[in-house]
Amino acid sequence: MKMLVNVVFPIEPFNTLMRDGKAGELIGRIVDDIKPESIHFTDHEGNRGAVMLVDVKDESMVPLIAEPWYLTFEAFCEFKVAMATADLMKADLGKLAEKWK
C-alpha cells in the first residue's frame, strides 16, 4: 500500500545537528535506509519538514519508517493512505453511491 508520510522536524535538535554539520548526513542515512519512492523537503507550519511516498507492505513497516526520524530528530510522523487514480476506480464509486444514497 502506498502511504504519504509527513515528517515535521522540531527546531531542536535540528538546529544543533545543523550547526554540528550532522543533519545532512543523518537525513541521507535515513533516506538510504527507508528508500522512499520520492521525498520532498518543505515546511510544515513554520517548521522544517518532508513529505515521502513509501510503499508499505504491511503494518510492521511503520516503525521501520518512523523510528529513524523520531530517534534522530525527535520528529513527528503522520501516515496517510495514498491512492492512484486506478486504485480509486477499483472502489466502484458509482456502486457505492447507489448503495448509500
For 64-99, what is each residue's pLDDT tens digit? 999 999 999 999 999 999 999 999 999 999 999 999
Question: According to the model, what pLDDT value does residue 74 have?
Answer: 98
Domain with 47 in it: what CATH number?
3.30.70.920
Q: How far apart are CA 15 and CA 58, in angstroms?
A: 34
Domain that holds residue 53: 2-99
If you average pLDDT over every residue of the chain, what do you get? Answer: 96
Q: How far apart are CA 27 and CA 79, in angstroms?
A: 19
Question: According to the model, what pLDDT value does residue 41 have?
Answer: 98
Question: According to the model, what pLDDT value does residue 68 have?
Answer: 98
46: confidence class by pLDDT, cuts 50, 70, 90: very high
Kindly state the percentage of the chain with pLDDT values over 90: 99
C-alpha distances (whole Å) from 27 to each of 14, 17, 20, 86 are: 11, 11, 14, 32
**Burial state string for 78-100 with b = 16 or more CB within 10 A and e = fewer than 16:** ebeebeeeeeeeeeeeeeeeeee
Instruction: Please count the structural domains in the chain.
Output: 1
* Mean pLDDT for the stretch of residues 34-63: 96
